Chain A
Amino acid sequence: MTGLDLKARRGQPVTAALWERFRTWVRSERLVAGPGIKIKETADGRIITAARSAGSVWAHDFKVTLNAAGLAVIAPGTFNLVEPQIDGVPLSGDDDNPPPTLQCSLDQLDDDGRGYIAAEIQCNATWGIDQDAIEIKQVAYFDSETGEDPPPGSGGPTSIGGIPGLKGRRVRYPLARLVLRNGSMQAVQIPYFSLAHRVSSLAAAPDAARHFFWSAAT
């Protein structure tokens, strides 16, 4: 009902039926607060507030939050159930330390003003991941030290897929793309889940491998 049909002409009586329709319409237009809504009545009107519930923001694994000062907070996540660290402190913190932060710098972006927040994984002799073997870093490139392709120790050119390794049985997995916009860094999220990891190593070059990751439940 829009109310237009309740308009009266001059001389038209306000009958009980018309009044009842008007009353029904007014009642149907009352405002009722549903979930997440707060209505405060004042002398000047009603203030409607949409509350943002705590559960409405998805705090997923490895969620990167970057503030204006370049300080990054990274939500906990795991690679093969191993939690990365920042300066030796696990992402979820420990008994002695709160969850750590990563200070990002414009100096570490590449020439195009791009970079990554990446997890650098040090694989062991059997290409497994030991505890304390993953460190979060800001890097200009994640699949090579300097941007060359294929990087030394990579297990092949990047065009064949997977993620190439770095020298010394290392590999970096990008957690967020850093983009310089209007003089400040912004982070674009890459993974949303914890990850599993395996390698395809080369018989001819035992320390080189292609690395494969896939989303895995924690």
Chain B
Amino acid sequence: MLSFFTIPAGAWNKLVDLVRRNRALQGPGVRLHRTPDGVVIFARPQDDAFEHPWQLAPVWNPAAGDQGAWTTTFRPGFVNGRDVTIATKDDKGDTINATLLDDPALELLSFRNPITSAGTVASADGELVFLAGEGYPAVFEKLGVVPAESESGDTADTPADPTRSRQIRAVDLVLDTPRASSSQRVDLLDPFADQQTFTISTTFDLSGLRRPRHSIFATGRWLPPQPPTALERLLGTAHDPDSDQVRLATLWLISPPGAAADAEPDGTWTPYPQHFVWWNLHHASKARIPLTQPPAPIQLRTGLAAGVADVLIASLLEPINDSAAQIDAYLHAADFTGEHWT
């Protein structure tokens, strides 16, 4: 014989609530994997907590700037064992260079939008070509970031995808190591006389060394300093940059869903650091200084025809002397290019 019991709805719901209260929720240091047979608890690997040099800790600081700003601190990093600084403001509002050991915060004021086109360029045929947006790491597609603009000027394949409505911005964090630099200069000497008319000289610039020895700055889009080309060295127009730089990280900021295309990052956005350097660095400059004097121009003085022949001979030698000056400038050009390495 079957017997039936009545379970009041309130009692049933209390039972449901009891189970609900005892559900496992994920907290710091733990990862939960839900299966039909239970919730498997994993301790997060200790590697996740590895704190490496140059590691960013971005936060939204509502007190920074006029309306708040994103700032970041760094785990201390070193170059040649030396401290690295960032420009920040002290309690009085004065700009100071504080070492990373003091945990200063760097304000991030300029961001780039990797979704929008980099602009238009004219092709060889005279057509205007719309450049594609820079794009972003593929992981952000899964987080619902809108597609970058394609070369056609439209957003890529799925512009109407309602699940991809988040905006993205980026800022580069760059290590700057000033060094001596040099510039070549071309001088035309006595162009109307029978002497050499073309010299290439090198001037040295040590002003960069007045800046902090190693410092970090933030920029919306970092372009590496360009060393002079071989042609510039040959022509005597080379200008050596006065610092060596390396990009430490890019900070990506993701908006909440549905943000406007021109939205500015604020405290509702989520930061995702992408690191490029994990270890402390060494640095050295080639510090190659030309030790030789430029070659003296070849001259041939005969005194023939009351000196008229000397002028003629000098004009014949002029291209040879110019070429010699160029080759000497190329072979003995000063070079302060430096390298960072781990």
Contacts and interface: CB of A to CB of B under 8 A. Distances in A.
Interface string A47-60: 01011110011100
Nearest to A50: B43
Interface stretch (A85-93, A95-103, A158-166): A158-166
A67 interface: no
A29 B19 contact: yes
B38 A32 contact: yes
Nearest to A11: B9
Chain B binding site: helix, strand, loop or mixed by DSSP? mixed
A201 B255 CA distance: 54
Contacts of B76: 177, 188
Contacts of A28: 34-39
A212 B282 contact: yes
Interface residues of A, number: 60
Interface in B18-32: 19-20, 22-24, 29-30
A22 B15 CA distance: 10
B43 A27 contact: no
A53 B177 CA distance: 41
* Most chain A CB atoms below 10 A, which of B29, B285, B287, B342: B287
A156 B38 contact: no
A214 B342 contact: yes
Contact of B9 (A10, A25, A192, A212): A10
B260 interface: no
Interface residues of B, number: 53
B179 interface: yes
Interface in A23-47: 24-37, 39
Contact of A173 (B38, B47, B81): B81
A31 B43 contact: no
Interface of B: 7-9, 12-13, 15-17, 19-20, 22-24, 29-30, 33-43, 45-47, 50, 76, 78, 80-83, 101, 177-180, 209, 213, 279-280, 282-285, 287, 338, 341-342
25 contacts: A14-B12, A27-B38, A28-B38, A29-B24, A31-B39, A36-B42, A50-B29, A50-B43, A52-B43, A53-B46, A58-B46, A58-B50, A143-B81, A156-B287, A158-B82, A160-B179, A161-B284, A161-B285, A162-B80, A173-B81, A174-B81, A213-B282, A214-B282, A214-B341, A215-B279
